[in-house]
Amino acid sequence: MIQQRQALVTGALGDIGAATCSRLRKAGFHVIGVDRGTGTADVDNFLQLDIAGLHSDNDARSRCDDILEFTGGRLDLLVNNAAIQIVKPVEALTPEDWTVTLETNVLAAFWLVQRFLRLLRSARGAVVNVSSIHAFETKPHFVAYATSKGALLTLTRALAVELAPCVRVNAVIPSATDTGMLRAGFEGNPEGLAELGRYHPMGRIARPEEIAAVIAFLGSEAASFMTGSAISVDGGIGARLHDPI
């Protein structure tokens, strides 16, 4: 009897996380969702957990045992999707801003890989880290976020080299995606959001389902020879030269 494939998705209540959970369930995975918030998710099991606490909170770390119980001793795919985005000018960033950004966006991804490495190796599984176009092209007030997403790409490559051939580790790099987090940044400025879409050669921002499709691909056997890769899903904006003409 073939045991059902198991996937763990962090940030499961966010738009990309929710789309990823749904996509993976349709692909036949038993999906465990983790999020610091509460709500309804298209998952088989849900655990409310702030993954920023995995760095220093013993209670948060011990709650990973709850995830272990949900997996039934198997984990085929870990999707490190949860993130926090603090938008502030350099002079306003605080030590607390940096701490929560790095602990959520980078360190939690490492701690989860480390915690479930035995299961991932046993399943010859995969890790997909959700980075951001800000790792390459950014703008003012995104210093902490951009730095964390760049670090996540470096973590992806380092883990891929060390964990091969038993565990594949790849990253997806979205540009602007139609999420609550993005729309909050354009509250009261619908024309600004529309203009952002027009900047993309594809003429719009991404849908969460389009990011989820690439995450699911990287976690599938169709990507069995891919590790250490960073796949841009950016509507071409990463290739565009922003001259004034």
pLDDT 10s digits, 152-211: 999 999 999 999 999 999 999 999 999 988 888 888 998 999 999 999 999 999 999 999
The share of the chain scoring above pLDDT 90, in percent, equals: 82
Q: Is 199 a catalytic residue?
A: no
Q: Is 114 left (phi over 0), alpha (psi -120 to 50) or beta?
A: alpha
Catalytic member of 29, 70, 110, 145: 145
Identify whether the C-beta of residue 75 lies closer than 8 Å to the C-beta of residue 119. Answer: yes
The tens digit of pLDDT for each residue in 85-102 reads 999 999 999 999 999 999
CA 209/CA 223 separation, integer angstroms: 19
Q: Which two tokens stand for residue 91?
A: 């002079």
Q: Which domains does the chain carry?
A: 6-232 (3.40.50.720)
pTM, two decimals, is: 0.95
> Does residue 45 carry a pLDDT above 80?
yes
Identify whether the C-beta of residue 185 lies closer than 8 Å to the C-beta of residue 179. Answer: no
